[in-house]
Amino acid sequence: MQESTLWQAVLGEIELSVSRGNFVTWFKNTQLIRYKDDVAVVGVANIFVKNQLEKKFNTLVVETLGKNGIRPLKVEYKIHTGISPQIKHRDSEVLRNQPAPSAAREAARPKATIGGVTHSYRQGLNERYSFENFVVGAGNELAYAACQAIASKPGTKYNPLFLYGGVGIGKTHLIQAVGNEITAKKPGARVVYASTEQFVQEFVDSLRIKKNTSDFASFYRSADVLIVDDVQFLAGKERVQDEFFHTFNTLYQANKQIIISSDKPPKDIPTLEERLRSRFAWGMTIDMQTPDFETRCAILQSKAAGQGVSLNQAVTEALASRASSNVRELEGTLNQLLAWCEMRRVEPDMQVVAAMFESNQARPKHISARQIIERTAKHFHVSMEDILGPKRDKDIVVPRQIAMYMLRSELHLSFPKIAHELGRKDHTTAIHSIDKIEKELGYEGSIKQYVLELKERLYA
């Protein structure tokens, strides 16, 4: 592995285990200069960073290198004049979002470099979402066609694209698929995906921390494709709406593609400024409907196949008719079935389905955030004090990350709320943790096993 790729992986992990402030101050502009003869040389910008890394973070660095397959006898921190913010510091957040094999492709992605500073805003694309694994059916075919048209010629037709519809019906999936497709075809394209929560938070942070929003503005305004998810969260936020308005105009005038999703049409978003409302309707507005029974069956079969399982028709139909119209829940039911089978080492048949539904009926309808955290902590034999506290030991960090993931997957809480429930101030910690666990679920590893067991027992 290349030094720079390796180091990005190391930074990605370190970022999860130290505070944002520590990460930015001490790690962000470091580099692995060389690894030779059991000595790893890390380049740092100045003496302060060198001292701090040596004194406070050396163990963490050594351990994290170890996890990435490098076990140096010694790590040396050298002041390296080449280190400055301009150095190609690949965005570790982006890297972490990607499955490992795409790291090389990731390297080809540009970073917005404005005034010599490389931005660390997440591009946020998750390769899990593609057109190939999106099942087209009644309810989403129009949205699918529009997204495909955009992916093949961004900025020409359907600009902006405004997709709306209820939760869990595939909005995020589709708009991310556009971003992934464009990036795959044209690695140089600046595709920026942001949830509205993230857009708002970054705007607020830039005001609060940097006292000016020019970097923030130029980053978003330099996108070739801007994808903003769940724009209903702009409601009531006047200053952010103002910022968004200017971003929109800049991009629109430059024929850059804008894609927006929302849970309701522009006219129903309360306290949305009129000028934004009208702009959202300039291009194409598409209503996504819940999938019908046939589409639900097709989705179930496709998701099961994705996990290497084939579902027979009876089982598929039983699940599709039981589960509500929301695809996220449909997936949840399928995953529950697969977990059930995996743990009992049985094949998914009607008997299993019946048993599972029966046990579901015994489930309490509601489970609180606190209960989820308590059960996660208990599952891992970690105390509540530790899981909510500041400790960063791995055997506490992982359960904490899983707890965050569970709050998202079971209760659909927002990132700031999840961070708050776990006693964290910074919502980006929640974003990273959940990303990390979601990625783990793609592999047959111990984390996946823990999550399956936990979900199984959560309502027991």
Contacts with Mg ion by CB under 5 A lie at 171-172
418 binds, among ligand ADP, Mg ion, none (CB under 5 to 8 A by kind): none
Specify the residue, 172 or 336, whose C-beta has the smaller distance to Mg ion. 172
Specify the residue, 72 or 416, whose C-beta has the smaller distance to Mg ion. 416
Instruction: Report angle CA 448, 175, 182 to the nearest 5 degrees.
Output: 100
- In whole angstroms, how close is the CB of 306 to ligand ADP at the nearest point? 9
258 binds, among ligand ADP, Mg ion, none (CB under 5 to 8 A by kind): none
Report the candidate in 444, 440, 437 with the shortest Cα–Cα distance to residue 309: 444
Burial tier of 133 (Cβ tally within 10 Å: 0-12, 13-18, 19+): middle
Specify the residue, 299 or 387, whose C-beta has the smaller distance to ligand ADP. 299
Report the candidate in 190, 310, 311 with the shortest Cα–Cα distance to residue 254: 190
331 binds, among ligand ADP, Mg ion, none (CB under 5 to 8 A by kind): ligand ADP
Specify the residue, 277 or 328, whose C-beta has the smaller distance to Mg ion. 328
168 binds, among ligand ADP, Mg ion, none (CB under 5 to 8 A by kind): ligand ADP
Residue 73 φ/ψ, nearest 5 degrees: -75, -25
Residue 349 φ/ψ, nearest 5 degrees: -130, 180
- In whole angstroms, how close is the CB of 409 to ligand ADP at the nearest point? 10
Specify the residue, 169 or 396, whose C-beta has the smaller distance to ligand ADP. 169
Structure tokens belonging to residue 13: 């992990």
User: Which residue has its beta carbon closest to ligand ADP?
Assistant: 170
Buried b (16+ CB within 10 A) or exposed e, 259-287: bbbbbebbeebeebeeebeebbeebbbbe
Question: Where do contacts with ligand ADP occur on this chain (CB under 6 A)?
Answer: 133-135, 140, 167-173, 299, 327-328, 331
134 binds, among ligand ADP, Mg ion, none (CB under 5 to 8 A by kind): ligand ADP
Specify the residue, 238 or 292, whose C-beta has the smaller distance to ligand ADP. 292
User: Which residue has its beta carbon closest to Mg ion?
Assistant: 172
What is the C-alpha to C-alpha distance for residues 143 and 323, in angstroms, rounded to an integer?
A: 23
Helix (H) or strand (E) holding 182: helix 171-185
- In whole angstroms, how close is the CB of 18 to ligand ADP at the nearest point? 30
